[in-house]
Amino acid sequence: MKHIFLNLKRFDVPRELGGVNSIADIREWGGYIVKNTQKQLMKYPGTDVKFTMFFPEMHLMGAMAARCEDSPVELGCQSVFWMDVQPGGNFGAFTTERPAAAMAAAGGRMGIIGHCEERNLLSGILKEANVTDTDAVNRILRHKVENAIARGMKVLYCIGETSEEQAMWQEVLGKQLEIGLKDVDCSKVVIAYEPIWSIGPGKTPAGKEYITKIARFVKEKTNGMDIVYGGGLKQDNAKMLASIQEIDGGLIALTRFQGEIGFYPEEYLEIIEQYMSAVTA
């Protein structure tokens, strides 16, 4: 099974307000992306590849409404709160947060949890609270994973090491897996590896040898769980990633890194075509 994920973080912010969205009106943005990709994605056998798009919560219902009959696109949300609604108990008093119950009700069938930006946010909050327990972030993320699964959702669980952690990557990634997935139904989870140290302008992207090393480590630690490359599946690395036997797909975000930077449906489809052609070659 191959997995192609699309993380549409921040792309709903109009360009004139400092974002990178120039493709659709903010009110129609989610539906626009689904409508302009789902029919083309039907060319790939549904049993061999899964396409999942993670939307900001305000666009999830619009994206859901745009799905056609037998759409190959599965929709998901960008994480959930670490607490959830409990019948007869807390009915959702989580102002500013999105419990798994709400995301499932809106049509989310999967959640991306543990993205490096989410980990960084949690670390900052704990640091402000003078919490020095370095395992706390992984425990909070585990609660999020548990809540999503309990609501019938699947999870893309992200792991990765920073430049400061790279020398001890085995310990860092090992804890993220062991603590974050402790007692979790891992049949509902796909792992995404983010080489945080190599992501961003001016940084050297992780190479095939390094990605292969990490993928083998994760497969060994998790008894063969599916793992995708979360450092950005794009046109210039699609064939390389497809050649790594241990990698089961990728996570797409930006499709254009120069000029009118942002996400464009036609370029998303081109990336998938390059990757799938290389996989089946």
How do residues 232-260 score in pLDDT, each as one tens digit? 999 999 999 999 999 999 999 999 988 89
So what's the pLDDT on residue 25? 94
So what's the pLDDT on residue 202? 81
Q: How far apart are CA 254 and CA 268, in angstroms?
A: 9
Mean pLDDT, residues 116-141 taken together: 96
C-alpha 195 chain-centroid distance: 14
So what's the pLDDT on residue 10? 86
How do residues 36-47 score in pLDDT, each as one tens digit? 999 999 999 877
Mean pLDDT, residues 26-50 taken together: 94
Q: With a cut of 90, say whether residue 146 has pLDDT above it.
A: yes
So what's the pLDDT on residue 281? 80
Paired with 113 in beta bridges are 157
Is 3 an active-site residue?
Answer: no
**Number of neighbours of residue 82 by Cβ within 10 angstroms:** 20
Residue 3's pLDDT band (cuts 50, 70, 90): very high
Please provide the average confidence, as pLDDT, over all residues in the chain: 96
* Helices 136-150, 116-128: crossing angle, 10 deg rounding: 130
Q: Which DSSP helix (H) or strand (E) runs through 180? A: helix 169-180
So what's the pLDDT on residue 95? 93
List the domain range (segments joined by +) for residue 173. Answer: 2-280
So what's the pLDDT on residue 46? 74
Q: How far apart are CA 255 and CA 226, in angstroms?
A: 24
pTM of the predicted model, to two decimals?
0.97
User: Residue 99 maps to which CATH number?
Assistant: 3.20.20.70
Mean pLDDT, residues 75-99 taken together: 93
In eight-state DSSP terms, residue 12 is T
Mean pLDDT, residues 249-273 taken together: 95
Q: Which DSSP helix (H) or strand (E) runs through 61? A: helix 57-66
So what's the pLDDT on residue 92? 87
The domain tally of the chain equals 1
Q: With a cut of 90, say whether residue 61 has pLDDT above it.
A: yes
* Helices 136-150, 169-180: crossing angle, 10 deg rounding: 40
Q: How far apart are CA 11 and CA 26, in angstroms?
A: 10
Of 115, 118, 146, 161, the active-site residue reads 115
More confident residue, 10 or 82: 82
Q: How far apart are CA 137 and CA 126, in angstroms?
A: 8
Quick check: helix, strand or coil at residue 257?
Answer: coil
So what's the pLDDT on residue 280? 85
